[in-house]
Structure 1
Amino acid sequence: MDKAKEQTHRITVCTSCRHVGAPCRPGLDLLKHLQAAIAEAGAALSDDFSLEGSVCMAGCERPCTVAFQASAKATYLFGDIADEADIGALVSFAELYRDRPDGLTREGERPKMLGGKTLARIPAAIVSAERHATLLQ
């Protein structure tokens, strides 16, 4: 990756997720497998995304949770992510998300394996000095 180029998108995986009633923490494994899959998808994708772990993303009833974020784009939170079964769908969604200027996708456009797994779509928080000045008038 060119050091001067900043990654503009972020994928965050909950690392404290537990499957209900099970002692394992699959979030760390999911993060490792997703990092490998993004890297395998090629520089075009891995250069645009940073991947991070986070402690508790409040999706405890539907682990594992994964968030997609970027400036001026909607944020997505997915839950019930199965490590190996959903990796390809997460990579496909990353490509779709990266290519959308506002990040918005409809359920039918997302990979089928992510169907019913969207916990939240949060609108982009865009604050500009010009818009703020207009609101104050």
Structure 2
Amino acid sequence: MDNTNDQTHRITVCTDCRHTGAPCRPGLDLLKHLQAAIAKAGAALSDDFSLQGSVCMAGCDRPCTVAFQATAKATYLFGDIGGKADIGALVSFAELYRDRPDGMTREGERPRALGGKTLARIPAAIVSAERQATLLQ
């Protein structure tokens, strides 16, 4: 599959708790382990993704939350991420997400460990704007 693209892929982990006003230790640990796993997966993956922590992503009832985003791709928000236990699944999803031109995946295609953990899939704004323009014609 051709992996050349103009997208900048981003993985964001919730690392600040709005309830306590302090850093979220589980989120910071998850970010650290995910950064190491992406780097270990090789340059092909680590060159395609930036990883960062973020303020609250409103997934407080289902922590830890992780978002996958890229230009002109659907955005995914996962919750109930169990630290080291889900790192392999997140790396596998990163590969799948990177290889999809629109970022769209079905639940059955995602790693089994992420089953039931999808909090949101938000269509790319660019695609939605193009679709609206077509409907208005």
- Structure 1: 5+ residue runs without aligned partners? 1-5, 19-23
Which residue in 1 is equivalent to 2:90? 90
- Please identify runs of 4+ aligned residues in structure 1 that moved more than 6 A: 129-137
Report the 3-state secondary structure (helix = DSSP H, G, I; strand = E; otherwise coil) of the residue aligned with 2:37.
helix
- What does 1:1-137 align with in structure 2 at a 5 Å threshold? 8-16=8-16, 25-126=25-126
| Number of positions where the alignment pairs a residue of Structure 1 with one of Structure 2 | 129
**Is the 8 Å Cα contact of residues 17 and 65 (structure 1) preserved in structure 2?**
no
Given that 1:17 and 1:26 are in contact with CA atoms closer than 8 Å, whether structure 2 keeps it comes out as: no
Kept in 1, the 8 Å contact 2:7–2:72? The answer is no
TM-score by length of 1: 0.83
**Contact 2:11-2:50 within 8 A present in 1 as well:** yes
Structure 1 vs Structure 2 CA RMSD: 2.6
* Identity percentage of aligned residues: 90
Q: What TM-score, normalized by structure 2, do the two folds share? A: 0.83
Q: Which residues of structure 2 form unaligned runs of 5+?
A: 1-5, 19-23
For residues 87 and 72 of structure 1, do their structure 2 counterparts lie closer, same or farther at Cα, with a shift above 3 Å needed? same
